[in-house]
């Protein structure tokens, strides 16, 4: 079964392919099919994920999955939340998408550290909300949510991952997310937790696997 990922993020595609490898799915990005990204005007992960999944499903006339995820920091009232990817206002260079993403990530991390300067409560969580649809008109969207608890450290650690991974420290693993190898991250992450729920839902509701 082909499942279109409502994203053009190559790293997110690689993560989801690994997490869904137990199911007979061919996951491809919407960009590879010429589908433009959807608007994300909502204030919650679930609303944005549903909007993205429906947009992709409508465009390709088939099944789609969307992940809306981000970092929620307790001391900031849940921010950056749905604005995680564009937390900082930054002028991006005229370069390929991954270079732009790297510049944005660095700016986001710098702003987060600035906003938390002097804060004693540095608790945070990565949240991933997955929504899957068989079609744009599917009345029964599958919804799965994963939360990965940690805390924001005062300086980046590690060279792996993307986004806020270098600043998110997981006490149970004694490492920042950026210091984890791919296998460990895929076993413990917010996206892994949501994906495990989604695999179970697809098996029961879509009769896959």
- Residue 11's nearest CA partner among 156, 185, 150 is 185
Give the chain's end-to-end CA distance (angstroms, integer).
11
Residue 19, burial from CB neighbour count under 10 angstroms (0-12, 13-18, 19+): buried
Letter string b/e over residues 181-209, b meaning 16 or more CB atoms within 10 A of that residue's CB: eeeebbebbbbbbbbbbbbebbeeeeebe
Catalytic residue list contains 165: no
Mean pLDDT value across residues 158-184: 94
| pLDDT, position 105 | 95
Mean pLDDT value across residues 116-129: 96
Top CATH class, 2-202: alpha beta
Question: Are the C-beta atoms of residues 53 and 37 closer than 8 Å to each other?
Answer: no
Asked if residue 182 has pLDDT above 80, the reply is yes
pLDDT averaged over every residue in the chain: 93
Asked if residue 11 has pLDDT above 80, the reply is no
| pLDDT, position 158 | 95
Q: Which residues contact 117 (CB under 8 A, 6 or more apart)?
A: none
Q: For 61-100, how does the pLDDT look when each residue is reduced to its tens digit (9 = 90+)?
A: 999 999 999 999 999 999 999 999 999 998 888 888 788 8
Catalytic residue chosen out of the listed positions 26, 67, 68, 121: 68
Asked if residue 46 has pLDDT above 80, the reply is yes
pTM: 0.89
Question: Are the C-beta atoms of residues 148 and 169 closer than 8 Å to each other?
Answer: no
| pLDDT, position 101 | 87
For the chain, the domains span 2-202
| pLDDT, position 96 | 84
Q: What band does 25 get if pLDDT is binned at 50, 70 and 90?
A: very high
């Amino acid at each position: 079964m082909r499942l279109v990922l409502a994203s053009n993020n190559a790293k997110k595609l690689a993560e989801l392919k690994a997490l869904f490898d137990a199911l007979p799915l061919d996951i491809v990005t919407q960009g590879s099919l010429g589908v433009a990204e959807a608007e994300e005007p909502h204030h919650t992960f679930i609303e944005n994920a549903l909007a993205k999944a429906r947009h992709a499903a409508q465009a390709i006339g088939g099944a789609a999955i969307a992940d809306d995820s981000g970092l929620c920091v307790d001391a900031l009232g849940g921010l950056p939340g749905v604005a995680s990817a564009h937390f900082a206002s930054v002028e991006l260079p005229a370069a390929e998408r991954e270079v732009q993403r790297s510049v944005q990530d660095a700016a986001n991390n710098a702003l987060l550290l600035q906003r938390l300067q002097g804060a004693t409560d540095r608790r945070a969580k990565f949240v991933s909300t997955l929504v899957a649809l068989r079609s744009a008109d599917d009345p029964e969207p599958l919804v799965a949510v994963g939360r990965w608890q940690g805390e924001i450290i005062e300086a980046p650690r590690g060279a792996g991952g993307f986004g806020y991974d270098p600043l998110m420290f997981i006490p149970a693993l004694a490492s920042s997310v950026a210091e984890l190898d791919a296998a460990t991250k895929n076993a413990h992450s917010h996206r892994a937790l949501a994906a495990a729920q989604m695999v179970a839902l697809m098996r029961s509701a879509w009769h896959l696997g």
